[in-house]
Amino acid sequence: MLAKRIIPCLDIKDGQTVKGTNFVNLRQAGDPVELGSAYSQQGADELVYLDITASHEGRKTFTELVKRIAATINIPFTVGGGINELADVDRLLAAGADKVSINSAAFRNPQLVDDIARNFGSQVCVVAIDAKEVEGEWSCYLNGGRINTGKNLFDWAREVCDRGAGEILFTSMNHDGVKTGYANEALARLADELTIPVIASGGAGAMEHFRDAFTQGKADAALAASVFHFGEIGIPELKSYLCAQGINVRI
């Protein structure tokens, strides 16, 4: 059985790491290169860097920052935000990223998923899906939660899986930053319906929440931000706890 992965997520705005609640009320959390280096040393399995206002502001992602990150850390990292074409993917991989995450661009041009998978391999293409549950229905949102697509979470996840995505990064907007646990029912359904790994995002507040994401939610990886950035949960302690719970993690 593959080891479950622990993935700190660093949301970047104006070159700094930030963290909000329900996608708003951002506060600064530190230098992204220094934080990434610390997480690498603490035993994180991967990192995700998201330029959270790139799509909204129509900018290209931070190539120079990606080069600095690649020169400093020795674990795989994914970069997302403002990726709209193959040239963006090429530029970020050349700068040292291992994978790219696309969200808004995949909705606007679903063929981009096929093109990335065909040109760079499925393992490079992470499709991020931000979704909100309203009256029992999960709808997908774009541009940092600003635009409701009206598209169903599970339908969209199946489509991008069929198009060649290598992983799904599912963030529950209802759970984001509120620290009451992940959206485990939705996660489990995604895991059952898809043939590719699912990364859980949104809701981590305690070590038990990671355990539940892996056991109840059947997630392949769990991503979190503020609990790591602000020292509420240490990665070595988290992995020891999960190991004691019978969950296979890399120690």
Task: State the catalytic residues.
Answer: 11, 130
Helices within 73-215 (DSSP H only): 86-95, 104-108, 111-120, 153-163, 184-193, 207-215
In the 8-state DSSP scheme, what is residue 202? Answer: S
Among 78, 79, 74, residue whose Cα is nearest residue 42: 74
Q: Residue 50 to residues 32, 95, 101, 126: CA-CA distances in angstroms?
A: 11, 15, 8, 12
Q: The tokens 């080891």 sit on which residue?
A: 3
d(CA 93, CA 126): 13
Record the tokens describing residue 231, joined without a space.
Answer: 């020292």
Question: What's the longest Cα–Cα distance across the chain?
Answer: 46
Partners of 10 in beta bridges: 49
Partners of 49 in beta bridges: 10, 79
Backbone angles phi, psi at 130, to 5 degrees: -95, 120
